[in-house]
């Protein structure tokens, strides 16, 4: 319910060509405690006045020269976006009451005025009117918050995964603990690490450090989106992305290769305009993986499997400014790329592996 104090602050407009009726209604309403009362004897002014002031209720006489109440209501329909006219019509003709309601009036007052009837109808209409506006405001607020929640959900999770979460009919505790997990026969995982970032972070302020990371990772995000990779996460100064999930594609290795080459260009562009030149080391591998969302709070889309460990080793055993890929990735490439055999290297936790450098086309 709307409190009486709010109802008494409602904005009212009295429209009647007879000054005596205007003064009588003003006296009745002010005596009941209403304070925001305006009036006019010229019906042609109503639309402009309402557009400027947005009255909560208009007490409108139907019989007026130049422009009658029905014409006023038709004009008001052009500016009332809610489709409801805040009009209480005033008439001495019983046959006009039904017509006025059909045109869009909320209720009617009969002439001559009955004091109790005037105050009761005004109070009741304002109660309904203000309650409707408050409900609409709350509904719009819910929509805004829903849009914000969906935006945040899509920022945290891949679009396809976010839609699956939204599609669950009931968000109960049981539903929240049901993991979303998918297996993939072949995906390509990319790791990029900023070389010497720990030492760099000790030489600059926290604000500068975070600003640099944000700049670089935002550039990488744009590349991932352009090349069709899914950003998985960042861990400190390490950036992880994957191709071929959650939507399966056949050219996942090519996409990751193109992204890694773009990342080298991005770091060069960053260095050209930065006082803090940096370098990156990139590793890529291809293989089977499991991906999904687990847990019941702070949802995170993550990736598991030997391919993740191998891609990480490709990065950590790599060389600054270079892209090291596993032989599995080399075999998965569809388009021709410039590759340089690194030979067989010893990889911690794994057997000896044959690896390759992925070069720009103009590299030897």
Question: Could you tell me where the beta strands, DSSP code E, fall in the chain?
Answer: 12-15, 37-40, 57-61, 87-91, 107-110, 180-195, 230-235, 238-243, 279-293, 301-304, 323-326, 338-345, 353-359
Give DSSP secondary structure letters for 236-255: TTEEEEEES-SS--TTHHHH
Q: Is 107 a catalytic residue?
A: no
| Rounded-to-integer distance, Cα 154 and Cα 168, Å | 16
- Give the other-Cβ count within 10 Å of 334's Cβ: 11
- Give the other-Cβ count within 10 Å of 304's Cβ: 13
67, HSE (Cβ side, Cα atoms, 13 Å): 16
Identify the active-site residue in 14, 58, 161, 194.
194
**Residues 120 and 29: beta-carbon distance below 8 Å:** no
3-state DSSP assignment of residue 301: strand
- Give the other-Cβ count within 10 Å of 194's Cβ: 22
Could you tell me which residues come within 8 angstroms of residue 71 by beta carbon, excluding any fewer than 6 positions away?
A: 43
**Tokens linked to 232:** 């998985």
Identify the active-site residue in 237, 267, 284, 323.
237
Tell me the sheet residues that pair with 188: 243, 286
Q: Is 147 a catalytic residue?
A: no
Identify the active-site residue in 61, 193, 323, 325.
193
- Environment class of residue 244 by beta-carbon count within 10 Å: exposed (0-12), middle (13-18) or buried (19+)? buried
Measure Cα distances from 322 to 181, 261, 309 in Å: 33, 9, 19
Q: Is 193 a catalytic residue?
A: yes
Could you tell me which residues come within 8 angstroms of residue 52 by beta carbon, excluding any fewer than 6 positions away?
A: none
Q: Phi and psi (nearest 5°) for 173?
A: -60, -40
Residues designated catalytic: 193-194, 237
């Amino acid at each position: 319910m709307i409190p009486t104090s709010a109802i008494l602050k409602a904005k009212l407009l009295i429209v009647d060509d007879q000054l005596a009726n205007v003064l009588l209604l003003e006296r009745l309403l002010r005596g009941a405690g209403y304070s925001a009362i305006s009036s006019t004897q010229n019906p042609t002014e109503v639309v402009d006045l309402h557009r400027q002031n947005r009255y909560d209720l208009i007490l409108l006489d139907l019989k007026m020269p130049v422009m009658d109440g029905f014409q006023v209501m038709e004009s008001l329909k052009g500016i009332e976006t809610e489709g409801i006219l805040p009009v209480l019509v005033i008439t001495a003709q019983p046959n006009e009451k039904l017509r006025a309601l059909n045109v869009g009036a909320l209720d009617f007052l009969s002439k001559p005025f009955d004091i109790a009837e005037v105050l009761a109808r005004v109070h009741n209409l304002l109660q309904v009117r203000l309650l409707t506006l408050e409900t609409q405001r709350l509904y719009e607020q819910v929509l805004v918050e829903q849009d914000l929640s969906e935006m945040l959900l899509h920022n945290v999770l891949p679009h396809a995964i976010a839609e699956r979460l939204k599609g669950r009919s009931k968000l109960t505790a049981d539903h929240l603990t049901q993991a979303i997990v998918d297996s993939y026969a072949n995906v390509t995982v990319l790791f990029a690490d900023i070389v010497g970032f720990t030492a760099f972070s000790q030489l600059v302020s926290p604000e500068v450090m975070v600003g640099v990371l944000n700049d670089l990772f935002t550039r990488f995000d744009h590349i991932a989106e352009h090349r069709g990779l899914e950003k998985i996460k960042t861990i400190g100064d390490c950036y992880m992305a994957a191709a071929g999930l959650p939507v399966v594609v056949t050219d996942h290795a090519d996409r990751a290769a193109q992204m890694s080459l773009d990342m080298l260009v991005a770091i060069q562009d960053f260095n050209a305009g930065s006082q803090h030149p940096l370098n990156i080391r990139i590793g890529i591998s291809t293989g089977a993986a499991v991906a999904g969302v687990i847990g019941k709070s702070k949802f995170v889309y993550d990736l598991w499997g030997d391919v993740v460990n191998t891609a990480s080793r490709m990065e950590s055993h790599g060389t600054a400014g270079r892209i090291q890929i596993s032989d599995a990735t080399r075999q998965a490439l569809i388009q021709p790329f410039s590759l340089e055999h690194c030979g067989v290297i010893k990889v911690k936790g794994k057997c000896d592996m044959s690896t390759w450098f992925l070069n720009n086309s103009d590299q030897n």
